A and B are shown apart, each in its own frame.
Chain A
């Protein structure tokens, strides 16, 4: 099973600032990585797939990068609606595995 490790666990950011979230895979997953946003009481929302492709309707302030074992989600200028928990997920192998999440909170 591929282990996904996200850092940091919590990120405190002021509105308008840049947020950088990291995700590391325990073995190479090529670009088979997705990022999701989840707000309290809601289902996850797909942000990024293929490590760097934005999903339909996702604002350009969200960007993803990386390949192999190291990945990054960047939110260029945080808006109030972006404060949430973010998960990475690999789909290179079964079982699909998620990182433990990064909570982006208001500083």
Chain B
């Protein structure tokens, strides 16, 4: 069965850093497009970043230059390195598989940016 499990969220001060992880099972991360999608409290879904199966990267303008997506094929794990965090980055962060629609999602990890 396909499973995605995020971790690494927590409380961080503005300007701080955090690295999120998404461990995949039941498939090979490097064979798929993998995304990060976030949801601020009480708000809608916002696509954040993608890593293509071929390794290319893309980001939403709101995080470009601050966030970095990557993967470790040996650990079958997706990452999101978040630097220069701002209060508006507070959200549940989901990893999701898919180039087009996303059938598989993790349960999410909460990131809170506050002093």
User: Interface residues, chain A, CB within 8 Å of chain B?
Assistant: 32, 34, 36, 38, 42-46, 49-50, 55-56, 87, 89, 91, 94-101
Given A43-B94, A44-B45, also A96-B35 (CB < 8 A): yes
Selected from A49, A55, A98, the residue in CB contact (under 8 A) with B47 is: A98
**Is the Cβ of A55 less than 8 Å from the Cβ of B100?**
no
Our count of residue pairs bridging A and B at CB distance below 8 angstroms stands at 51
- A selection of 21 A-B contacts at a CB cut-off of 8 Å is A32-B100, A34-B100, A34-B101, A34-B102, A36-B45, A43-B107, A43-B108, A46-B101, A46-B102, A46-B103, A50-B101, A55-B103, A87-B45, A89-B45, A89-B101, A91-B100, A94-B50, A95-B61, A96-B35, A98-B46, A101-B45
Q: Is the interface of B mostly helix, strand, loop or mixed?
A: loop
Nearest A-chain residue to B48, judged by Cβ: A95
Question: In angstroms, how far is the closest chain A Cβ from the Cβ of B24?
Answer: 14
Residues of B with C-beta under 8 A to A45: 105
Residues on the A chain within 8 Å of B60, using CB: 95
Q: Which of B47, B58, B102 contacts A97 (CB 8 A)?
A: B47
A residues near B61, Cβ cutoff 8 Å: 95
Residues 45-80 (chain B) with a chain A CB within 8 angstroms: 45-47, 50, 58, 60-61
B99 proximity list for chain A (CB < 8 A): 91
Chain A residues closer than 8 Å to B107, beta-carbon distance: 42-43
